[in-house]
Amino acid sequence: MMKIPFVDLQSQLKPIRNQINEGINGVLDKCNFILGDDVKKFEDSFAKYCGAKYAIGISSGLDAIHLAMRALEIGEGDEVITQANTFIATALGITMAGAKPVLVDANESNFLMNVEQIEKAITPKTKAIMPVHLYGRMTDMTPIMKLAKKHDLHVVEDAAQSHGAQLFGARAGSVGAMGCFSFYPGKNLGCYGDGGMVVTNDPQLKDKVEALRNYGSIKKYHHPIVGFNNRLDTMQAAILNVKLPHLDAYNSARFEAAIKYNKALEGIGDLVLPEIPEKKSHVFHLYVLKTKKRDQLLEFLNNQGVQAGIHYPIPVHMHGAYAHLGYKTGSFPVSEKMASEILSLPMFPELNDVQIDYVKQKVKEFFSK
């Protein structure tokens, strides 16, 4: 039996291991573990890569969202509109700032935020809209930016799954007031621990986030504002400096793998395969299909050595953590239906034809039973 991991970090490490060792040794040589040169170097390269003026290295994607909220002075009594079908951290970042996440549903076709529901969700307390470029596909920011302008709201992009995705010439994270990234190891650009980034074009927001991540200080032992300890590690930045030049190639390989999956799986059972939009607008962090037999297929694949998963099995409003928001079953029917039908197949840049063929054989076998 073949074993196909959900993400193969070993294969990705192999060809760059020497450079990674050099990067880590460079930090050890200098012992500049906190906000060392590698952090600044990575911030500059990542800002450039995103087509943004500034990037501020943060300890995780969740912390990036939290600090983005704080930098915009969003807190107690404020509301931020985001989507019900996302990883819990999108909402938690809002909650950590003291604000309330207000949810809208997803589009059935592409899993992204249903923009048509945003206006109805706006109240006098609304301060921002946070679309999530879910699974690596960039949301069309044009109607969101228009709505935000009309209602005088901020836009913060949750770009944790979409490093390098671009639409209409702009990269994910560079369109709103701020873009928040995660470098969790399995992400399209991942480090070897936790890491995150806030990207912005606004010099004041940049200064604010820089202070917030470092105890509220820019100058040592001067604390004009209350802050946190949320800095990106120098060691992680050194690793990311080695990996960033490979990101476009990683993303291309993911896109090609998604095309191959779609060709291989077309017409099997009741599978609804993901849309493949214009190249580069989707960086396939995850390859997510739908089937009414999701639970059985998941179990079958896992028993056959194919590590598949669900992203995510429970929409935000159905978690105990958000019971107090007062939503109920049926509040977001698309997200709820998705949660019971979606299945993520193994997806990583090194996924090869033999592995894709094995997955196809196993999926076929399941539906011919």
Ligand X SMILES: Cc1ncc(COP(=O)(O)O)c(C=O)c1O
Which residues sit at the interface with ligand X, rule CB under 6 A?
Answer: 60-62, 86-87, 89-90, 132, 158, 160-161, 182, 184, 194, 196
Q: Which is nearer to ligand X, 86 or 355 (CB)?
A: 86
Whole-number minimum distance, CB 92 to ligand X, in Å? Answer: 8
Whole-number minimum distance, CB 255 to ligand X, in Å? Answer: 19
Q: Which is nearer to ligand X, 68 or 345 (CB)?
A: 68
Whole-number minimum distance, CB 225 to ligand X, in Å? Answer: 23
Q: Which is nearer to ligand X, 344 or 355 (CB)?
A: 344
Q: Which is nearer to ligand X, 161 or 234 (CB)?
A: 161
In the bound complex, which residue of the shown chain has the CB atom lying closest to ligand X?
61
Whole-number minimum distance, CB 106 to ligand X, in Å? Answer: 13
Inter-helix orientation angle 17-30/234-243, to 10°: 150
Whole-number minimum distance, CB 322 to ligand X, in Å? Answer: 15
Q: Which is nearer to ligand X, 132 or 265 (CB)?
A: 132
Q: How many CB atoms lie within 10 A of CB 193?
A: 14
Whole-number minimum distance, CB 139 to ligand X, in Å? Answer: 12
Q: Which is nearer to ligand X, 62 or 239 (CB)?
A: 62
Note whether 165 and 280 are within 8 A (CB): yes
348: burial class by Cβ within 10 Å (0-12, 13-18, 19+)? buried
